[in-house]
Amino acid sequence: MIKHHGSETLNPLFVADEAKRLELQKEAEQLPSIVVSSAAAANAVMLGSGYFNPLTGFMNKADALGVAERMTTTSGLFWPVPILNMVENASGIEGATRIALRDPNVDGNPVLAVQDIEAIEEFSEADMQLMTEKVFQTTDPDHPGVDAFNGSGRTCISGPIQVLNFSYFKTDFPGTFRTADQIRAEMTDLGWEKVVAFQTRNPMHRAHEELCRMAYEAVDADGILIHMLLGKLKEGDIPADVRDAAIRKMVEVYFPPNTVLVTGYGFDMLYAGPREAVLHAVFRQNSGCTHLIVGRDHAGVGAYYGPFDAQTIFHDEVPENALDIEIFEADHTAYSKKLNKVVMMRDHPDHGKEDYVFLSGTKVREMLSRGETLPGEFSRPEVAAILMQHYRSGS
């Protein structure tokens, strides 16, 4: 199976030993504590899950700026986005060398992790602008990722962490949430060596389904990992539980047994386009995948990125040999009325726009909310029924 990023072994920061974890939980109740941002909590979950291997905790200022500018830490580790614990005010933990990090997304703010403090540093306005521009390619506050990144504060608390739980992800999504080492174990049990990963924050319609099948066949893979984001999204996106049900139904009905793993990871969407695509590649490599599908406007939002910027970054900015995972570059896929099947549009220059079935996300939402049936060329009926129920319930 493909090796982990940056280390010989996978080093998840979750404290797996129960006795040690209980001891840390008792200690944490006596430590100075802070309620972290949702972004920092998600970073802790990803560190605990092994997805952010080989990082040992939250980055300091120098590493964060180096990653933003050059995609490398001061030690030379390749990494695409800063992994930070940013707060508005650290006055409550002044002088502390060890603190408890409390979860903002769970009632009662239980302790999520324990952090050893190596430094508490302030980012200047210029620092924040530089990181924002490099990571998101815009400083527009209307960009949801920019808004979240700049809304967590400018005080950076760096240092290693020990993770005590997986926030709400394991309890709310027990059948779907998986850590990187759990995914590797499941792939090993299935005998998979070559695995194609598909990233999604949305339900999967016919084009997504066929894209997975195309990549699977093109690289002669043993299996497909459908890996969905379970954390916070922008307003209007489909909730994770609805998306999960729709994807599972699609796989159950339309894929052969033991060819697809449906799993999820605990992270908030960055909407950072190309940089987030590279982060997706890093943690899919840590999960054991050999290939990642990167399609049109991967991890994008609005019109902030070109349709294929998330592919070109791997050629233009990611150093050779920085990653072992390979990218399957996909074009826009759509149902061809001429051929009566889903195709990759670049492969059919004889087609005009009128030869495809296109539906915008807005149009789909409008149709579902009115109880209208989606065209069979666009969405499987079983998937459409689940989505229609969600919209009609007003959830």
CA distance 191 to 298: 29
**If you average pLDDT over residues 161-166, what whole number do you get?**
98
**What's the pLDDT band for 69 if we cut at 50, 70, 90?**
very high
What is the reported pLDDT for 76? Answer: 98
Architecture of domain 18-167: Roll (3.10)
Q: Which tens digits make up the pLDDT trace of 256-295? A: 999 999 999 999 999 999 999 999 999 999 999 999 999 9
Q: Say how far residue 381 (Cα) sits from the centre of its chain.
A: 27
CA distances from 230 to 164, 208, 390 (A): 19, 18, 17
**Token pair listed for 227:** 């890996």
Cα torsion through 264, 265, 271, 275, rounded to 10: -120
Q: Which tens digits make up the pLDDT trace of 207-237? A: 999 999 999 999 999 999 999 999 988 877 8
**Cβ contact 82:145 at 8 Å:** no
Residue 124: CB atoms within 10 A of its CB come to 10
**What's the pLDDT band for 393 if we cut at 50, 70, 90?**
confident
Q: Which residues pair with 200 in a beta bridge?
A: 228
CATH code for the structural domain at 175-265+273-393: 3.40.50.620
**What's the pLDDT band for 30 if we cut at 50, 70, 90?**
very high
Parse the chain into domains and list their residue ranges: 18-167, 175-265+273-393
What is the reported pLDDT for 365? Answer: 78
What is the reported pLDDT for 232? Answer: 87
**Cβ contact 43:83 at 8 Å:** yes
Q: HSE-up of 207 (CA within 13 Å, CB side)?
A: 21
Residue 254 scores a pLDDT above 90: yes
Residue 150 scores a pLDDT above 90: yes
- The per-residue pLDDT of the chain, averaged, comes to 95
Residue 358 scores a pLDDT above 90: no
What is the reported pLDDT for 366? Answer: 84
What is the reported pLDDT for 237? Answer: 80
* Secondary structure of the chain in HEC code, one letter for each residue: CCCCCCCCCCCCCECCCHHHHHHHHHHHHHCCEEECCHHHHHHHHHHHCCCCCCCCEECCHHHHHHHHHHCECCCCCECCCCCCCEECCCHHHCCCCEEEEECCCCCCCCEEEEEECCEEEECCHHHHHHHHHHHHCCCCCCCHHHHHHHCCCCEEEEEEEEECCCCCHHHHCCCCECCHHHHHHHHHHHCCCCEEEEEECCCCCHHHHHHHHHHHHHCCCCEEEEEEECCCCCCCCCCHHHHHHHHHHHHHHHCCCCCEEEEEECCCCCCCCHHHHHHHHHHHHHCCCCEEEECCCCCCCCCCCCCCHHHHHHHHCCCCCCCCCEEEECCCEEEECCCCEEEEHHHCCCCCHHHEECCCHHHHHHHHHCCCCCCCCCCCHHHHHHHHHHHHHCC
**What's the pLDDT band for 395 if we cut at 50, 70, 90?**
low
**Token pair listed for 269:** 């969407």
Residue with the two structure tokens 């159950």: 252
Residue 127 scores a pLDDT above 70: yes
Residue 394 scores a pLDDT above 80: no
pTM: 0.96
Residue 370 scores a pLDDT above 90: no
Burial class (CB in 10 A: 0-12, 13-18, 19+), 347: exposed
What is the reported pLDDT for 368? Answer: 85
Look at the chain and count its residues. Answer: 395
Q: Over pLDDT 90: what percentage of the chain? A: 91
**If you average pLDDT over residues 236-263, what whole number do you get?**
94
From 131, 5, 118, select the one nearest 66 (Cα to Cα): 131
Catalytic residues: 201-202
Q: HSE-up of 193 (CA within 13 Å, CB side)?
A: 1
Residue 309 scores a pLDDT above 70: yes
**Cβ contact 51:180 at 8 Å:** yes
